[in-house]
Structure 1
Amino acid sequence: MSEFKKRVQAAVEKHATKNLPKVKRKNNNPEEQLVELIMEYLRSVGCSAHVFESKSTFSPITQRYIAQSIVPGHCDVAGCLPNGLALYIEVKTKGKLKTLRPKQHEFLVDKISHNAFAVCVDSVDMLKEYLEAFKISENRKKYLLSILPVPYDKNKDQEEGPLF
């Protein structure tokens, strides 16, 4: 085979592999999977609940992200228990309860102060445990506030001053 034919064949092969459809990698989102499991559990115990997503969307016209109409800090799952009591659940990835943001913490505390069942969980078992303890608790508000994780403040380290 001549040198010219080899170069043409190599160019054609390179072009063919360049234009193959690329496999799009999707990040594994364990929080979404946990939300689905929590929704299954809530339905099994007779709760009415819905998932709320507060993702912002990019506007090509204004060249910026625009927030949705949901209140900042709103939890991932909201609904009501079988007895009609309001239900709010902030879902975090396993072991990431400490990533609760201040706005989310304020939202949950506000709902607890209005006699709602509001918690932050990282597993279905944790939700079951909290719900069972909530049902038998004499002081429900105090119990819910005691299990609420401390909010994560990313500016805390900067406020303490320079390291050196």
Structure 2
Amino acid sequence: MFNQFLRENKIAAGILTVIRLYLGYAWMTAGWGKITGGFDASGYLANAVANPVKGPDGNMVYGWYVSFLEGVALPNIALFNFLVPWGEFLVGLGLLLGCLTTAAMFFGLLMNFSFFLAGTVSHNPTDIFLGFIILAAGYNAGRYGLDRWVLPFIRKTFNKRVGISESTKIPV
């Protein structure tokens, strides 16, 4: 019932727009600050490896993530120094414009969980909670944004390319 409200109700679309704009502004400004401020994730990642999240028993909780940071992220730090700020900026832009909203929120949640797994709590729990609301709402989260025009265009173009007739309804 709540999911149906999130996905179909126009009042919910208005509330979702406010949440989307809040998250979008936060993501875009964080990304822009990194783009213009000479961002380097190597210290952050090295600290996440040196001081992993530990449980009450003193054992590493996310050993697999520390292995990922050591084996993939740190050796490819130049790639991550590019992906993180531009990813944050583009997620924010997508959310602010309401363009490809669910895709933007998916990648925003992916980054939130990455920061969380590295041991940064900050505002991540709140962002994750709000992000899942946006993700669950689907199209309705971008109803008052560019998704109103972009998604039908993509659907029409896709249907044409794969040979699906206009009368066939593909759910949003």
Shorter-chain TM range is under 0.3
Structure with bigger helix share is 2
Instruction: From the CA coordinates, give the structure whose radius of gyration is larger.
Output: 1
Structure with greater contact order relative to length (CA < 8 Å, sep ≥ 6): 2
TM-score of the aligned structures, taking structure 1 as reference length = 0.26
TM-score of the aligned structures, taking structure 2 as reference length = 0.25
